[in-house]
């Protein structure tokens, strides 16, 4: 019999033959990947169907999957959702226009393109006011009735659909221009602003990565201690406040990066430690060496202290996993 480190159910060891990857495979298939065999099939499946499917496609880290090449450019349209806000940056004619990423016609790179919009401007030389299809109302059409009107859309279907909506909302413009972004032409590079929202599901997914890594480093029996029940309940069932367990920043994790100010890797960094004198074990997770999530598994544990100091670099260029020595870390 074996016990799951998340739901604590006891099952025949045959139900633990499916490996749980410390870092979800969507973030890279690494040689000699770090896995554990202490997560039951039910929890493994639940994490995959719920937390991970959302995190892998609708998060800041999901966008990094795409821009780093971990996710193929041809699958760019799969990335997006309510946590991601992509817009044309300042300086372009359509600054602020909602955008999305798509594969370029060469098939190997990703470009940003505009979502369908309707724009209004007093003249062709003025900065237009833009509205997405869902934002457009009769009140807006009436307000800008004397302005030049145009549609931003990649396809004729976009143009005809928005023309029909404008007419239904009372637009009486004698002509509506169609501005057609053509990604088959040489690209004019303009800035794109990306903002992404962090929420409980993101923190729970990152917490799972950290707890998996702790189980890999310290063993499943250590993670089964009741001191960690609050953390496991947060990850598995969403109970509790994320601020009890997690802080985040963009501070470097590697000493060399702190001293030089230059990012040395775009790979993933994982660290778990429990140093002498510290109250509890902690971990750091930096996917694509970007957001630094600092995880506190417990504030005042009763479990007997053990020396835990482990770090790994998941290299997305070589697909190898390399240990990080403790002197490399800035914690």
Numbers of helices and strands, H then E, in the chain: 9, 18
Sign of the Cα pseudo-torsion (71, 73, 75, 76, in order)? positive
In the three-class reduction of DSSP (H, G, I as helix; E, B as strand; rest coil), residue 57 is classed as coil
Whether pTM exceeds 0.85: yes
| 51 Cβ neighbours under 8 A, 6+ residues apart | 201, 204, 205, 208
Q: Which residues of the chain have pLDDT under 70?
A: 13-14, 124, 182-190, 326-331
Q: How far apart are CA 271 and CA 44, in angstroms?
A: 22
pLDDT at position 183 is 57
Note whether 297 and 251 are within 8 A (CB).
no
CA 87, CA 90: separation in Å to the nearest integer? 9
Q: Contact 308/284 with Cβ under 8 angstroms?
A: no
Other Cβ atoms closer than 10 A to 115? 19
DSSP 291-331: SEEEEES-SS--SPP--EEEEEEEETTTTEEEE--GGGB--
Per the CB < 8 A criterion, the answer to whether 251 and 263 are in contact is: no
Spell out a b/e string for 159-171, using b for 16 or more CB atoms within 10 Å of the CB, else e: beebbebbeeeeb
Report the pLDDT value the prediction gives residue 256, as an integer from 0 to 100: 86
| Cα 224 from Cα 164, distance rounded (Å) | 60
The whole-number pLDDT of residue 187 equals: 45
How do beta strands 177-179 and 148-152 pair?
parallel
SS3 content of the chain, % helix, strand, coil (to 5): 30, 25, 45
How far is residue 5's CA from residue 23's CA, in Å, rounded to a whole number? Answer: 16
Q: Facing residues of 196 across strands?
A: 84
What distance in Å separates the CA atoms of residue 147 and residue 33, rounded to the nearest whole number? 59
Of 65, 80, 76, the C-alpha closest to 28 is 65
pLDDT attached to residue 186: 46
- Mean pLDDT, the chain, rounded, equals 90
pLDDT digits (tens, 9 = 90+) for 114-134: 899 999 988 767 788 999 999
Q: Tokens for 326, please give them.
A: 């403790």
The number of CA neighbours under 13 Å toward the Cβ of 331 is 26
Instruction: Give the residues across from 88 on adjacent strands.
Output: 192
Distance CA 206, CA 143 (A): 46
pLDDT 10s digits, 274-294: 988 888 999 999 999 999 999
């Amino acid at each position: 019999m074996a016990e799951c480190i998340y739901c604590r159910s006891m099952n025949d060891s045959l139900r633990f033959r499916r490996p749980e990857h410390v870092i979800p495979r969507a973030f890279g298939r690494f040689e000699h990947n770090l896995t554990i065999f202490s997560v039951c099939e039910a929890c493994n499946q639940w994490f995959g169907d719920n937390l991970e499917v959302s995190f892998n496609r609708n998060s800041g880290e999901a966008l990094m999957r795409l821009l780093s090449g971990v996710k193929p450019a041809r699958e760019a349209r799969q990335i997006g959702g309510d946590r991601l806000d992509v817009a044309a940056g300042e300086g372009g004619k359509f600054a602020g226009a909602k955008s999305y990423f798509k594969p370029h016609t060469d098939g190997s790179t990703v470009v940003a393109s505009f979502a369908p919009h309707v724009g209004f401007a007093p003249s062709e030389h003025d900065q237009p006011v833009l509205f997405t299809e869902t934002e457009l109302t009769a009140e807006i059409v009436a307000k800008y009735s004397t302005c030049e009107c145009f549609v931003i859309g990649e396809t004729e279907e976009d143009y005809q659909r928005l023309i029909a909506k404008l007419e239904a909302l009372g637009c009486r413009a004698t002509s509506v221009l169609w501005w057609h972004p053509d990604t088959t032409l040489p690209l004019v590079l303009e800035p794109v602003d990306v903002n992404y929202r962090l929420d409980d599901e993101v923190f729970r997914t990152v917490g799972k990565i950290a707890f998996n890594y702790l189980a890999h480093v310290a063993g499943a029996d250590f993670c089964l201690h009741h001191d960690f029940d609050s953390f496991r309940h947060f990850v598995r069932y969403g109970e509790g406040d994320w601020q009890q367990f997690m802080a985040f920043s963009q501070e470097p994790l590697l000493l060399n990066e702190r001293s030089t100010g230059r990012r040395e890797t775009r790979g993933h960094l994982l660290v778990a430690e429990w140093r002498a004198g510290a109250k509890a074990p902690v971990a750091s997770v930096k996917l694509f060496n970007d957001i630094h999530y600092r995880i506190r598994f417990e504030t005042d544990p009763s479990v007997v202290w053990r020396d835990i100091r482990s770090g790994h670099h998941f290299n997305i260029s070589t697909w190898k996993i390399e240990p990080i020595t403790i002197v490399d870390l800035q914690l």
